[in-house]
Structure 1
Amino acid sequence: MENVSVPDGSLPVCNSSEDFYSLTSGNRSDLNCTVPSEFYLYADLYILIPIIYSVICAVGLTGNTAVIYVILKAPRMKTVTNMFILNLAIADDLFTLVLPINIAEHLLHHWPFGEVLCKVILSIDHYNIFSSISFLTVMSIDRYLVVLATVRSKRMPYRTYRAAKIISLCVWLLVILVVMPFTVFAGVYVNPHDERKSCVLSFPSPERLWFKASRIYTLILGFAIPVSTICILYTMMLYKLRNMRLNSNAKALDKAKKKVTIMVFIVLAVCLFCWTPFHLSTIVALTTDLTTTPLLIGISYFITSLSYANSCLNPFLYAFLDDSFRKAFKKMLECKPA
């Protein structure tokens, strides 16, 4: 359904699934439409969403900061895999730091923070989409190389902590380049009807074409390519391990390497669980035309909250799946007398 003009000649009302998706996902584009006032009358959503976001912010900030502290302070934690986990935690921490601003905007129903902060917030919001899956892709490549070297009984002299630092820096720079178009288009839009300000992606005309292009861009670079790469790597990894057991007298992966590989796999699975609905909603927005209903509104906010929740889950996975992390966490919490 196309946008419907209101009788008084003000801006058209956001009424299609594409419009509402763009306004609730946190990755919003200016489609020259306004949210109907009755959307703000859903008291449950108005109260529940800030509570959920606040919990994600508090838990994510605490957990990821603890991960960063443990890796930086404990000498035994300075491994290649933990370097990638460190950068993943930094990216999640960065996102949770700005989440209170999203909460404030939700409660105020307008953007009072200015143009510069709008660009920063929307950039970090999009960075959250690309950074997690990028570092998980790198971690999967690293796991595949470790398995491959083990199967062939070869050493990996190039796999060093310093090399992991350089690769992590390259990932940061790559994601910055990917997010740059969103930074350019981010801006404050003032509704001429009620002068309400919104922090959105203000695309040039035709807005709908640019909106669809941005969603396809995000879907391909933030999901399709990295997830396909990861699936291929893990399929090849399992195939080689199976052949190693059946066709070779070589020893299986030692216990420590098995645990690290399993941890990376579970962290990846949780990431896909949290982000797949978000990217599926992109496909829905691009291919269907659903009328906005209270149910659709609730689903949209649930999908957004689920994707945000990924930023606070990883520290718990490390604590449960990795003995060294668990011991380091416990040591950090110990109160030692002066």
Structure 2
Amino acid sequence: MENVTGGSPLPVCNDSELMLALGSGNGTEPRCAPPADYYFFRDLYVVLPVIYSVICAVGLTGNTAVIYVILKAPKMKTVTNMFILNLAIADDLFTLVLPISIAEHLLRYWPFGEVLCKIILSVDHYNIFSSIYFLTVMSVDRYLVVLATVRSKRMPYRTYRAAKTASLCVWLLVVVIVAPFTVFAGVFVSPDRAARKSCVLSFPSPEGSWFKASRIYTLVLGFAIPVSTICILYTAMLYRLRNMRLNSNAKALDKAKKKVTLMVFVVLAVCLFCWTPFHLSTIVALTTDLSNTPLLIGISYFIASLSYANSCLNPFLYAFLDHSFRKAFRKMLECRPA
């Protein structure tokens, strides 16, 4: 690329100069020529914070409303809603720290220190594991309800208190699973002239093997095991319902139980839709050696945004699929005279 004045060609920007060009936008005379994909990264630099900000605003508002409704409305204190409450807390926790990730993206470096780096990366991984594990517990609960209905039995052990205990166990399990990521999270200082700080997972040598092990760890514990469990439960549930209609004189599930089961199934389907590409990308990363082209980087950011979007979709699903939620939301939004 030649200078606009017709002089000698400008040297191509190195990484640090490119980051400064992306972050400044002050109209100063360029000292180097950007690479061919510079404008792609410039657009990405602007678009991603907008997408993340929308996810943050919608997710924080929706999940906070869900938490408020379940805690304030006496009729909302059910076993299923206890799991939904914890799911909303997990999503709210992630959206609360998302602005820090936006700030890091805009600044192009990490200015917040070691402790906050560990917290942010830990919460990011809580988001990966907590949603799918709470949905697994909800699927187990739905299976037990269907099983008890088919057998015309009561479930005295299925109480709100038992749901609290199960939720606490899920949180403890997620904390244990995420603990290795908390240990390895830290601030990395680049060795170039810019000495740019980044909040990353800093693995010991050999880093490549540790990185692959961490991806396999996340894939197995955050996707393969819980999703397999959920698929087995729903297959068994559908099989029992089919046999009940064909071979039994037992009554069908009542309307309310059907609606709750449908809601859990839809929330699960949306979760899998948002998170499956993320875990499939892990398989691709482990089995292939792809170069970082602009197209690949754009796809990876789209996949990350899709997984983040799951944190703001659930409140809309509750509002559309659960009449009691809609009723409680309306009461919450009513303007009552003093």
Gap change, CA 1:40 and 1:137, over 3 Å in 2:
farther
Question: 1:79 maps to what in 2?
Answer: 78
Stretch deviating more after TM superposition (288-297 or 152-161) = 288-297
Q: CA deviation at 1:78?
A: 0.1
Question: 1:248 maps to what in 2?
Answer: 248
Question: 1:7 maps to what in 2?
Answer: none
Counterpart CA distance in 2 for 1:313 and 1:114 is 32
Question: 2:161 maps to what in 1?
Answer: 162
Question: 2:232 maps to what in 1?
Answer: 232
Matched ranges for 1:139-218 at <5 A = 139-193=138-192, 194-218=194-218
Per-residue CA deviation, residues 295-319 of structure 1 (Å, 9 max, x unaligned), is 1111010000000000000000000
Question: 1:323 maps to what in 2?
Answer: 323
Counterpart CA distance in 2 for 1:39 and 1:192 is 24
Counterpart CA distance in 2 for 1:123 and 1:38 is 36
The answer to whether the 8 A contact 1:67-1:89 is kept is yes
Gap change, CA 1:226 and 1:296, over 3 Å in 2:
same
User: What SS is found at the alignment partner of 1:200?
Assistant: strand
Per-residue CA deviation, residues 231-289 of structure 1 (Å, 9 max, x unaligned), is 00000000000000000010000000000000000000000000000000000100011
Question: 2:132 maps to what in 1?
Answer: 133
CA RMSD for the aligned pairs?
1.4
Q: TM-score, normalised by structure 2?
A: 0.89
Per-residue CA deviation, residues 101-136 of structure 1 (Å, 9 max, x unaligned), is 000011111000000000000000000000000000
Matched ranges for 1:267-286 at <5 A = 267-286=267-286
Q: CA deviation at 1:192?
A: 1.7
Gap change, CA 1:158 and 1:37, over 3 Å in 2:
farther
Question: 2:28 maps to what in 1?
Answer: none
User: What SS is found at the alignment partner of 1:203?
Assistant: coil
Q: CA deviation at 1:141?
A: 0.1
Which one-letter code corresponds to 1:126 in the other structure? Answer: H
Which one-letter code corresponds to 1:229 in the other structure? Answer: T
Gap change, CA 1:39 and 1:308, over 3 Å in 2:
farther
Counterpart CA distance in 2 for 1:239 and 1:315 is 30
Counterpart CA distance in 2 for 1:189 and 1:48 is 26
Per-residue CA deviation, residues 173-194 of structure 1 (Å, 9 max, x unaligned), is 0000000000000000001212
Counterpart CA distance in 1 for 2:198 and 2:260 is 44
Counterpart CA distance in 2 for 1:186 and 1:274 is 25
User: What SS is found at the alignment partner of 2:186?
Assistant: strand
Q: Number of matched residues?
A: 305
Q: CA deviation at 1:222?
A: 0.1
Counterpart CA distance in 1 for 2:167 and 2:154 is 22
User: What SS is found at the alignment partner of 2:335?
Assistant: coil
Which of the pair has more CA radius of gyration? 2
Structure 1 residues not aligned, in runs of 5+: 1-9, 12-35
Counterpart CA distance in 2 for 1:232 and 1:179 is 25
Counterpart CA distance in 2 for 1:56 and 1:293 is 26
Stretch deviating more after TM superposition (39-48 or 207-216) = 39-48
Runs of 4+ in 1 over 2 A off after TM superposition: 36-41
Question: 2:67 maps to what in 1?
Answer: 68
Q: CA deviation at 1:37?
A: 8.3
The answer to whether the 8 A contact 1:40-1:46 is kept is no
Counterpart CA distance in 2 for 1:38 and 1:279 is 30
Counterpart CA distance in 2 for 1:311 and 1:67 is 12
Q: CA deviation at 1:40?
A: 6.5
Q: CA deviation at 1:293?
A: 1.0
Matched, 1:106 2:105: yes
Matched ranges for 1:294-333 at <5 A = 294-333=294-333
User: What SS is found at the alignment partner of 2:111?
Assistant: coil
Which one-letter code corresponds to 1:206 in the other structure? Answer: P
Counterpart CA distance in 2 for 1:213 and 1:314 is 31
The answer to whether the 8 A contact 1:137-1:229 is kept is yes
User: What SS is found at the alignment partner of 2:264?
Assistant: helix
Question: 2:119 maps to what in 1?
Answer: 120
Counterpart CA distance in 2 for 1:39 and 1:185 is 32
Counterpart CA distance in 2 for 1:191 and 1:236 is 52
Question: 1:88 maps to what in 2?
Answer: 87
Gap change, CA 1:174 and 1:183, over 3 Å in 2:
same
Which one-letter code corresponds to 1:44 in the other structure? Answer: D
Q: CA deviation at 1:291?
A: 1.5
Per-residue CA deviation, residues 38-61 of structure 1 (Å, 9 max, x unaligned), is 876522111110000000000000
The answer to whether the 8 A contact 1:144-1:234 is kept is yes
Paired-residue identity, %: 86
Counterpart CA distance in 1 for 2:116 and 2:38 is 24
